[in-house]
Amino acid sequence: METEGLGSMTLEQLLAQYREKTKVTKIRSLNKDLGYLKARKVAEPYGGLPRNVTHKRTLVDSDDWTGLRSYYPAWAREILVYPESNGTFKKDEDIVDSYKDKEGREWVFPAYCVPDEAVDKKNVALFVTPFAIAEDASSVTVIAGSRKVVVLSNFPQRSHWGTVDEKTGIPLSAKNVDIWSNTSGYLCRLDTAGVRPLLRYYDRYFVDGSRAVVADYEHDLGFGVGVESLEEAPQNLESLTLGQLLSAVKKKKTISVDDGI
Protein backbone atom coordinates (compact mmCIF):
# COMPACT_ATOMS: atom_id res chain seq x y z
CA MET A 1 0.00 0.00 0.00
CA GLU A 2 1.32 3.43 -0.87
CA THR A 3 1.84 5.92 1.94
CA GLU A 4 -0.56 8.55 0.60
CA GLY A 5 -3.49 6.13 0.94
CA LEU A 6 -3.14 5.66 4.68
CA GLY A 7 -4.86 8.84 5.76
CA SER A 8 -8.29 7.69 4.61
CA MET A 9 -8.11 4.27 6.32
CA THR A 10 -10.11 3.37 9.40
CA LEU A 11 -8.41 1.89 12.45
CA GLU A 12 -9.90 -1.51 11.60
CA GLN A 13 -8.42 -1.33 8.11
CA LEU A 14 -5.04 -0.33 9.49
CA LEU A 15 -5.07 -3.27 11.90
CA ALA A 16 -6.04 -5.66 9.11
CA GLN A 17 -3.15 -4.38 6.99
CA TYR A 18 -0.81 -4.70 9.98
CA ARG A 19 -1.77 -8.34 10.50
CA GLU A 20 -1.14 -9.04 6.83
CA LYS A 21 2.22 -7.26 6.74
CA THR A 22 3.53 -8.96 9.89
CA LYS A 23 2.78 -12.53 8.91
CA VAL A 24 5.68 -14.91 9.48
CA THR A 25 6.91 -17.98 7.62
CA LYS A 26 6.24 -21.23 9.47
CA ILE A 27 6.75 -24.89 8.63
CA ARG A 28 3.78 -27.19 8.09
CA SER A 29 4.38 -30.94 8.15
CA LEU A 30 2.82 -33.07 5.42
CA ASN A 31 3.09 -36.11 7.71
CA LYS A 32 5.23 -38.11 5.31
CA ASP A 33 8.73 -39.58 5.48
CA LEU A 34 10.31 -39.88 2.03
CA GLY A 35 13.63 -39.75 0.22
CA TYR A 36 14.70 -36.32 -1.03
CA LEU A 37 13.53 -36.67 -4.63
CA LYS A 38 10.08 -37.95 -3.68
CA ALA A 39 9.82 -35.36 -0.89
CA ARG A 40 10.63 -32.59 -3.37
CA LYS A 41 7.90 -33.74 -5.76
CA VAL A 42 5.28 -34.01 -3.00
CA ALA A 43 6.10 -30.52 -1.68
CA GLU A 44 6.28 -28.83 -5.09
CA PRO A 45 2.53 -28.00 -5.41
CA TYR A 46 2.77 -26.17 -2.08
CA GLY A 47 5.78 -24.06 -3.04
CA GLY A 48 8.55 -26.52 -2.27
CA LEU A 49 10.34 -27.88 0.77
CA PRO A 50 11.21 -25.45 3.57
CA ARG A 51 14.37 -23.41 3.09
CA ASN A 52 17.32 -24.04 5.37
CA VAL A 53 16.95 -20.58 6.94
CA THR A 54 13.31 -21.37 7.75
CA HIS A 55 14.44 -24.53 9.53
CA LYS A 56 16.92 -22.41 11.49
CA ARG A 57 14.19 -19.99 12.57
CA THR A 58 12.04 -22.94 13.61
CA LEU A 59 14.68 -24.93 15.47
CA VAL A 60 16.97 -22.25 16.87
CA ASP A 61 15.33 -18.82 16.86
CA SER A 62 11.86 -19.73 18.10
CA ASP A 63 9.89 -22.35 20.01
CA ASP A 64 8.05 -23.53 16.90
CA TRP A 65 9.94 -26.82 17.06
CA THR A 66 7.85 -27.86 20.08
CA GLY A 67 4.93 -28.64 17.77
CA LEU A 68 7.07 -30.39 15.17
CA ARG A 69 8.98 -33.04 17.14
CA SER A 70 7.50 -35.89 15.09
CA TYR A 71 8.26 -34.07 11.81
CA TYR A 72 12.01 -33.97 12.34
CA PRO A 73 14.47 -35.10 11.01
CA ALA A 74 13.34 -33.32 7.84
CA TRP A 75 14.62 -32.29 4.43
CA ALA A 76 15.47 -28.73 3.49
CA ARG A 77 14.99 -27.37 -0.03
CA GLU A 78 18.63 -26.75 -0.87
CA ILE A 79 21.55 -28.96 -1.88
CA LEU A 80 25.14 -28.49 -0.72
CA VAL A 81 27.81 -29.18 -3.33
CA TYR A 82 31.43 -29.49 -2.25
CA PRO A 83 34.71 -31.06 -3.43
CA GLU A 84 36.72 -33.56 -1.42
CA SER A 85 38.42 -32.20 1.71
CA ASN A 86 41.18 -29.74 0.76
CA GLY A 87 40.14 -30.06 -2.88
CA THR A 88 38.76 -27.51 -5.33
CA PHE A 89 36.23 -27.31 -8.13
CA LYS A 90 37.97 -27.83 -11.48
CA LYS A 91 37.17 -25.96 -14.67
CA ASP A 92 34.89 -27.94 -17.01
CA GLU A 93 34.64 -30.84 -14.53
CA ASP A 94 31.29 -32.00 -13.18
CA ILE A 95 31.04 -32.54 -9.43
CA VAL A 96 30.03 -36.14 -8.78
CA ASP A 97 28.97 -37.32 -5.34
CA SER A 98 31.34 -39.99 -4.10
CA TYR A 99 28.50 -42.42 -3.34
CA LYS A 100 25.71 -43.71 -5.56
CA ASP A 101 22.10 -43.82 -4.40
CA LYS A 102 20.17 -47.03 -3.74
CA GLU A 103 19.31 -47.31 -7.43
CA GLY A 104 22.98 -47.21 -8.36
CA ARG A 105 22.84 -43.70 -9.82
CA GLU A 106 25.47 -41.00 -9.54
CA TRP A 107 24.42 -37.58 -8.23
CA VAL A 108 25.93 -34.88 -10.42
CA PHE A 109 26.23 -31.10 -10.38
CA PRO A 110 27.30 -30.07 -13.90
CA ALA A 111 30.36 -27.93 -14.52
CA TYR A 112 28.32 -25.32 -16.43
CA CYS A 113 26.39 -24.54 -13.23
CA VAL A 114 29.55 -23.80 -11.21
CA PRO A 115 30.24 -20.03 -10.98
CA ASP A 116 33.63 -18.95 -12.33
CA GLU A 117 34.57 -17.42 -8.99
CA ALA A 118 34.34 -20.84 -7.33
CA VAL A 119 36.74 -22.62 -9.71
CA ASP A 120 40.20 -23.53 -8.33
CA LYS A 121 39.46 -21.80 -5.03
CA LYS A 122 40.20 -23.57 -1.74
CA ASN A 123 37.69 -23.85 1.10
CA VAL A 124 34.74 -23.21 -1.21
CA ALA A 125 31.35 -24.92 -1.53
CA LEU A 126 28.08 -24.17 -3.32
CA PHE A 127 24.69 -23.63 -1.71
CA VAL A 128 22.25 -24.61 -4.44
CA THR A 129 18.51 -24.10 -4.83
CA PRO A 130 17.67 -26.51 -7.66
CA PHE A 131 15.79 -25.21 -10.68
CA ALA A 132 15.30 -28.78 -11.89
CA ILE A 133 16.57 -32.28 -11.20
CA ALA A 134 16.98 -34.56 -14.21
CA GLU A 135 16.85 -38.31 -13.62
CA ASP A 136 17.77 -41.26 -15.80
CA ALA A 137 18.88 -44.84 -15.19
CA SER A 138 22.48 -43.91 -14.41
CA SER A 139 22.43 -40.42 -12.90
CA VAL A 140 20.58 -37.68 -11.03
CA THR A 141 21.63 -34.25 -12.29
CA VAL A 142 20.97 -31.15 -10.19
CA ILE A 143 20.46 -28.03 -12.34
CA ALA A 144 20.44 -24.46 -11.09
CA GLY A 145 20.75 -20.98 -12.60
CA SER A 146 23.46 -18.59 -11.46
CA ARG A 147 21.06 -16.62 -9.23
CA LYS A 148 20.29 -19.79 -7.26
CA VAL A 149 23.91 -20.78 -6.58
CA VAL A 150 25.61 -19.11 -3.61
CA VAL A 151 29.38 -19.45 -3.37
CA LEU A 152 30.38 -20.19 0.22
CA SER A 153 33.88 -19.19 1.32
CA ASN A 154 35.56 -20.51 4.47
CA PHE A 155 33.75 -23.80 4.00
CA PRO A 156 34.85 -26.38 6.63
CA GLN A 157 37.08 -29.18 5.37
CA ARG A 158 35.70 -31.61 7.92
CA SER A 159 32.58 -31.86 10.06
CA HIS A 160 32.96 -29.11 12.61
CA TRP A 161 31.43 -26.18 14.49
CA GLY A 162 31.29 -22.87 12.67
CA THR A 163 29.60 -19.48 12.60
CA VAL A 164 26.25 -19.59 10.81
CA ASP A 165 26.04 -17.59 7.59
CA GLU A 166 22.90 -15.42 7.85
CA LYS A 167 22.05 -15.66 4.16
CA THR A 168 22.15 -19.46 3.85
CA GLY A 169 22.13 -20.84 7.39
CA ILE A 170 25.31 -22.84 6.72
CA PRO A 171 27.99 -22.98 9.47
CA LEU A 172 31.30 -21.67 8.10
CA SER A 173 34.81 -21.78 9.52
CA ALA A 174 35.67 -18.92 11.85
CA LYS A 175 38.01 -18.15 14.72
CA ASN A 176 36.80 -18.43 18.32
CA VAL A 177 33.46 -20.05 17.59
CA ASP A 178 31.21 -20.06 20.65
CA ILE A 179 29.44 -23.42 20.40
CA TRP A 180 26.92 -22.37 23.06
CA SER A 181 25.69 -19.42 21.00
CA ASN A 182 22.79 -19.56 18.57
CA THR A 183 25.06 -17.82 16.06
CA SER A 184 27.03 -21.07 15.74
CA GLY A 185 26.13 -24.39 14.17
CA TYR A 186 27.61 -27.80 13.45
CA LEU A 187 28.18 -28.77 9.81
CA CYS A 188 28.16 -32.48 8.95
CA ARG A 189 29.91 -33.23 5.65
CA LEU A 190 31.72 -36.05 3.88
CA ASP A 191 35.51 -36.05 3.55
CA THR A 192 34.90 -36.90 -0.11
CA ALA A 193 32.98 -34.92 -2.75
CA GLY A 194 29.30 -34.38 -2.04
CA VAL A 195 26.12 -33.39 -3.87
CA ARG A 196 23.92 -33.66 -0.81
CA PRO A 197 20.44 -32.44 0.08
CA LEU A 198 20.37 -30.65 3.42
CA LEU A 199 18.80 -32.30 6.43
CA ARG A 200 17.78 -30.72 9.72
CA TYR A 201 16.70 -32.39 12.93
CA TYR A 202 15.37 -31.75 16.39
CA ASP A 203 17.56 -33.14 19.14
CA ARG A 204 18.03 -31.41 22.47
CA TYR A 205 20.38 -34.09 23.77
CA PHE A 206 23.22 -33.56 21.30
CA VAL A 207 24.88 -30.18 21.95
CA ASP A 208 23.01 -28.94 20.08
CA GLY A 209 21.40 -31.14 17.42
CA SER A 210 18.91 -28.46 16.46
CA ARG A 211 21.87 -26.37 15.26
CA ALA A 212 23.35 -29.16 13.13
CA VAL A 213 23.21 -28.76 9.35
CA VAL A 214 23.57 -32.22 7.87
CA ALA A 215 25.04 -32.66 4.38
CA ASP A 216 26.30 -36.22 4.54
CA TYR A 217 23.18 -38.42 4.73
CA GLU A 218 22.04 -40.68 1.90
CA HIS A 219 19.73 -39.07 -0.65
CA ASP A 220 17.00 -41.70 -0.50
CA LEU A 221 16.59 -42.25 3.23
CA GLY A 222 13.07 -41.43 4.44
CA PHE A 223 12.87 -38.15 6.35
CA GLY A 224 10.19 -35.59 7.12
CA VAL A 225 8.40 -33.73 4.33
CA GLY A 226 7.09 -30.24 5.00
CA VAL A 227 6.30 -26.93 3.33
CA GLU A 228 6.38 -23.27 4.24
CA SER A 229 3.21 -21.56 5.38
CA LEU A 230 2.64 -17.84 5.86
CA GLU A 231 0.80 -17.33 9.14
CA GLU A 232 -0.31 -14.45 11.31
CA ALA A 233 2.18 -13.72 14.05
CA PRO A 234 0.93 -13.76 17.66
CA GLN A 235 1.06 -10.22 18.99
CA ASN A 236 -0.51 -7.83 21.45
CA LEU A 237 -2.18 -5.27 19.21
CA GLU A 238 -3.27 -3.20 22.21
CA SER A 239 0.37 -2.34 22.94
CA LEU A 240 1.00 -0.90 19.47
CA THR A 241 1.57 2.80 19.06
CA LEU A 242 0.10 4.52 16.02
CA GLY A 243 3.63 5.13 14.74
CA GLN A 244 4.50 1.43 14.88
CA LEU A 245 1.25 0.56 13.14
CA LEU A 246 1.78 3.05 10.32
CA SER A 247 5.42 2.05 9.88
CA ALA A 248 4.52 -1.62 9.40
CA VAL A 249 1.63 -0.92 7.05
CA LYS A 250 3.83 1.27 4.82
CA LYS A 251 6.09 -1.68 4.07
CA LYS A 252 5.54 -2.98 0.57
CA LYS A 253 6.09 -6.67 1.30
CA THR A 254 5.22 -9.03 4.08
CA ILE A 255 7.74 -9.12 6.89
CA SER A 256 9.97 -12.22 6.98
CA VAL A 257 9.10 -13.49 3.51
CA ASP A 258 12.38 -14.25 1.76
CA ASP A 259 14.43 -12.28 4.27
CA GLY A 260 17.78 -13.99 4.63
CA ILE A 261 17.69 -15.32 1.04
Task: Return d(Cα 18, Cα 246) in angstroms, integer.
Answer: 8
Percent of the chain surpassing pLDDT 90: 69
pLDDT of residue 2: 40
Q: What is the pLDDT of residues 141-176, one digit of tens each?
A: 999 999 999 999 999 999 999 999 999 999 999 999
Instruction: Flag whether the pTM goes above 0.85.
Output: no
Average pLDDT for 194-221: 86
Contacts of 195 (CB under 8 A, 6+ apart): 79, 81, 95, 96, 97, 107, 108, 109, 142
pLDDT at 259 over 60: no
Alpha helices in 22-77 (DSSP H): 36-43, 52-59
- Are residue 18 and residue 37 in the same domain, yes or no? no
Instruction: Provide, rounded to the nearest whole percent, the portion of the chain with pLDDT above 70.
Output: 78
Q: Give the separation between CA 112 and CA 91, rounded to whole angstroms.
A: 9
Same domain for 103 and 16, yes or no, is no
Domain containing residue 134: 33-226
| Residue from 16, 78, 24 nearest 51 by CA | 78
Number of domain units in the chain? 2
For residue 30, give the amino acid letter.
L
Residue 108 has pLDDT above 90, yes or no: yes
Note the pLDDT of residue 202.
Answer: 83
Residues 49 and 158 in one domain: yes
